[in-house]
């Protein structure tokens, strides 16, 4: 199973959308292998979004992400990175399709509720930055028995 890092930003918490957003991922069939509330430091956020350093939105992004607590989670499932990103929708809520998290719950071009890893490589780095190995729990085949056909060598 592929893993991805997702964190719900301060606006998701302040708007009382944590359960709604997590529920969408659970209903899709993702397994939550790590979950915690965190206060992200400015230093951590600057490093996390270092690829955007120098862009006009970088400083406002840092202020936004550090403005309150976040809920970080590791989701596991088939093609987790790509599927989670489709579920989140376009970066700007005003551009996101209905049916996506941002399309249904966000209008802002800055406050966009959720972050998800953009590649399996980024997921590995981000999971390691947010979670210690002993904070992650895999709970195996029984948990996915009715999500994937497991009669062959690979889940389908």
How much is the CA Rg of the chain, to the nearest whole Å? Answer: 16
Output the pLDDT for position 59.
Answer: 96
Q: How far apart are CA 41 and CA 68, in angstroms?
A: 10
Please tell me the total number of residues recorded for the chain in this structure: 156
Label residue 57 by pLDDT band (50, 70, 90).
very high
Output the pLDDT for position 154.
Answer: 82
Q: In what order do the strands lie in the sheet with 114-116?
A: 31-38, 70-77, 2-8, 114-116
Indicate if the pLDDT at residue 142 is higher than 80: no
Indicate if the pLDDT at residue 140 is higher than 70: no
Output the pLDDT for position 155.
Answer: 80
Q: How far apart are CA 6 and CA 146, in angstroms?
A: 24
Output the pLDDT for position 141.
Answer: 66
Is residue 110 classed as helix, strand or coil in its secondary structure?
coil
Q: How far apart are CA 7 and CA 107, in angstroms?
A: 19
Q: How far apart are CA 112 and CA 70, in angstroms?
A: 13
* Catalytically active residues, by annotation: 115
CATH domain 2-134 topology: Alpha-Beta Plaits (3.30.70)
Say which range, 7-11, 112-116, 135-139, has the weakest mean pLDDT.
135-139
Give residue-wise pLDDT tens across range 12-55: 999 999 999 999 999 999 999 999 999 999 999 999 999 999 99
Cβ-Cβ contacts under 8 Å for 54 (sequence gap 6 or more)? none
Closest by Cα among 13, 149, 131, 151 to 75: 131
Where helices occur in the chain by DSSP H, the ranges are 10-14, 18-28, 42-48, 58-65, 80-88, 101-105, 120-130, 140-143
Cβ-Cβ contacts under 8 Å for 44 (sequence gap 6 or more)? 129
Give residue-wise pLDDT tens across range 59-68: 999 999 999 9
Output the pLDDT for position 16.
Answer: 98
Q: How far apart are CA 151 and CA 145, in angstroms?
A: 10
- Asked whether 85 and 73 are in contact (CB, 8 A), the reply is no
Output the pLDDT for position 40.
Answer: 97
Give residue-wise pLDDT tens across range 59-115: 999 999 999 999 999 999 999 999 999 999 999 999 999 999 999 999 999 999 999
**How do the domains of the chain map onto residue ranges?**
2-134
């Amino acid at each position: 199973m592929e893993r991805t890092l997702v964190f719900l930003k301060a606006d998701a918490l302040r708007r009382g959308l944590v359960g709604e957003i997590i529920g969408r991922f659970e209903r899709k069939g993702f397994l939550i292998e790590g979950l915690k509330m965190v206060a992200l430091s400015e230093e951590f956020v600057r490093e996390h979004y270092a690829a955007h350093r120098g862009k006009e939105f970088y400083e406002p992004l840092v202020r936004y992400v550090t403005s309150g607590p976040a809920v970080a989670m590791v989701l596991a499932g088939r093609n987790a990175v790509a599927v989670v990103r489709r579920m989140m929708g376009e970066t700007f809520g005003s551009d996101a399709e209905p049916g996506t998290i941002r399309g249904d719950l966000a209008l802002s071009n800055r406050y966009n509720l959720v972050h998800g890893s953009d590649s399996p490589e980024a997921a590995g780095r981000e999971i390691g930055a947010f979670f210690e190995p002993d904070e992650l729990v895999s709970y195996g085949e029984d948990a996915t028995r009715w999500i994937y056909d497991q009669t062959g060598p690979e889940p389908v």
